[in-house]
Every structure is written in C-alpha cells, then in structure tokens.
C-alpha cells in the first residue's frame, strides 16, 4: 500500500470513529440519516466554495462539483437554497462572560478574602448594573442578567441580592445551549488537528491529552475532582491573561487584525477494552 492509500485509510478510519458518537447523539434525538446526509452535502459545498477555489478565480459550481463528487445540479441547489441554521455564540453570551470575569477579578466586587460579593441590582456601592457597564459596554443590564440567570451562573437570594454561583459561563439547564457547545468545541478541536497536520512542524498548536486505558473504576471520583480543580486553575489563569489583552471596544482600532483565541479542556472516560485470558481469542 502506497503512502496516499495509507493516508486515506487512516483518515477513513478516524472519520468513522468520529461519526460514532455523532450518530449516537443523532439517533438519541430521533434525527434520521437523511438529515445528516443533507447537512454533509451543505458542509462539503460550503467548504469547497469558500476554501478550495483556484487562486485568482471566483468559486464555481463546476469546480465544487468536481471536488465534492456531487452533481452540478445538486451543488447549484445547495448554493441557491436556504442555508442550514448555524449555532453561533450570542452577543448576550459573550458579554455575560465578560461580566463573570469582572465579578471574579475586580477587587471592587470582592470581599476581604477575595471572594465575589453578592450584588444589589442597582443600589449601593456594589451593584450589578455598575458591573455590567464596566465590563460589558453598552449591553442592557437586564439582558445580561437574564442570560446569567438562565444558564445558572447567577442566583437571586431571598434578600434580592445577586449571588455568583459559578465562575464560568457553562449552560446547565438548556439542551439547546449544550448542543451549540458540541458544534463549536468539537469543530475547534478538529480545526486544531487539521492545522497540526498541515503546519505542525513549523507552527504547531498545543494539542495534548493524558489517558490510561486500564484504570480501576474506583479511581474515577478522585480523578474527577483532581482534574477539575487543576484544569480550573489553568483556565482561570489563561482567562486573566487573555482578559488583559482583550478590548471591549474593538471599533476603536478597526485596522488591528483580530482572532478567536483560547484553550479547551475536557474529561475523558469510557469503558476499558475487553481483555481475554492467555490463549483465548475474541
């Protein structure tokens, strides 16, 4: 088998492994194969048109047809028809994240031990409205509060003060929000792997994991606590570092190139592969 065939075999095997949890999720939510097939066609055509045109020439239906293996009629239909809904982070979510960061970091909103203070909505020296104006620009206070209450990051106490429940913007109650994370986070990981395949020797992006394949199940709770604590320390450190470089008003510097920049950490857990006594085959 030559190098090209080995590459295609490895890619096919990896995509099949990738699709298994995707298909599991789709079947659990009663999504039939035809929907996945149509989405795959849309994605193929979008990428072919947006990223694989010949330099100096406009993207064409014919070239997209050749690249994707779809008929010209099918490509034309996909290009001209309505685009599938894209799940994008809302402006409220982006601004809400900034507010959480300010609440955790700014000494004005902390007690003597460095813990985030409960805040009134608008009154007093420590109020939520002032926090939003300081860290979220012109976003309406009510919109930010509703978003943070909705995802469970903030709770309203009996005395009507607002209390920080979690230091991170992580939706806990809405399956819609969690499915949006599936799209963004998995896409980011695949993009990083693709970048490293192309540029890993000259411009690698950090991509590592630690995993053992035969750990006693009783270890799981301890690992869950230890990994979550250590990962949270790292992410809070990087959050502070990035926050110092961020700008609430990018329009003031319209010529400065900007990128999405960050790092993701996730917990891995799955049944161990079955083992067989010596001399016994599967």
pLDDT digits (tens, 9 = 90+) for 113-153: 888 999 999 888 889 999 998 887 777 888 888 888 887 88
Residues 6 or more apart whose CB falls under 8 angstroms from that of 16 comprise none
pLDDT confidence tier of residue 84, bands split at 50, 70 and 90? confident
- Show the DSSP H helices in 52-210 as ranges: 61-68, 72-80, 91-105, 128-136, 141-150, 175-199
Per-residue pLDDT tens digits for 26-38? 999 889 999 999 9
Q: Who wins on pLDDT, 20 or 93?
A: 20
Q: How far apart are CA 225 and CA 231, in angstroms?
A: 10
Say if CB 207 and CB 196 are below 8 A apart.
yes
Per-residue pLDDT tens digits for 85-124? 654 445 556 677 788 888 988 888 988 888 899 999 988 8
What's the burial of 76, exposed, middle or buried (CB within 10 Å: 0-12/13-18/19+)?
A: middle
pLDDT confidence tier of residue 2, bands split at 50, 70 and 90? confident
**CA 274 to each of CA 134, 214, 220, 244, 277: distance values in angstroms, whole numbers, following the listed order:** 55, 10, 18, 48, 10
CA dihedral over 50, 53, 55, 59, signed as positive or negative: negative
Say if CB 272 and CB 213 are below 8 A apart.
yes
């Amino acid at each position: 088998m030559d190098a090209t065939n080995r590459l295609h075999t490895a890619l096919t095997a990896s995509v099949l492994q990738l699709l298994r949890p995707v298909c599991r999720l789709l079947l659990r939510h009663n999504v039939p194969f035809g929907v996945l097939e149509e989405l795959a066609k849309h994605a193929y055509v979008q990428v072919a048109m947006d990223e694989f045109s010949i330099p100096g020439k406009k993207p064409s239906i014919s070239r997209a047809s050749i690249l994707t293996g779809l008929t010209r009629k099918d490509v034309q239909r996909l290009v001209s028809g309505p685009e599938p809904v894209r799940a994008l982070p809302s402006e409220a979510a982006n601004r809400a994240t900034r507010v959480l960061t300010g609440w955790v970091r700014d000494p004005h909103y902390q007690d003597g031990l460095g813990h985030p203070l409960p805040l009134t909505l608008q009154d007093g020296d420590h109020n939520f409205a002032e926090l939003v104006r300081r860290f979220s620009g012109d976003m309406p206070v009510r919109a930010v509060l509703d978003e943070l209450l909705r995802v469970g990051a903030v709770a309203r106490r009996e005395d009507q003060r607002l209390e920080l429940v979690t230091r991170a913007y992580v939706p806990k109650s809405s399956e819609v929000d969690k499915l949006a994370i599936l799209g963004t986070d998995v896409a980011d990981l695949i993009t990083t792997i693709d970048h490293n395949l192309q540029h890993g020797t000259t411009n690698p992006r950090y991509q590592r994991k630690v995993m053992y394949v035969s750990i006693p199940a009783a270890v799981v709770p301890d690992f869950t606590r230890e990994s979550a604590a250590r990962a949270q320390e790292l992410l809070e450190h990087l959050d502070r570092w990035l926050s110092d470089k961020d700008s609430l008003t990018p329009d003031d510097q319209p010529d400065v190139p900007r990128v999405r920049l960050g790092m993701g950490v996730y917990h891995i857990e799955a049944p161990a592969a079955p083992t067989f006594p010596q001399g016994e085959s599967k």
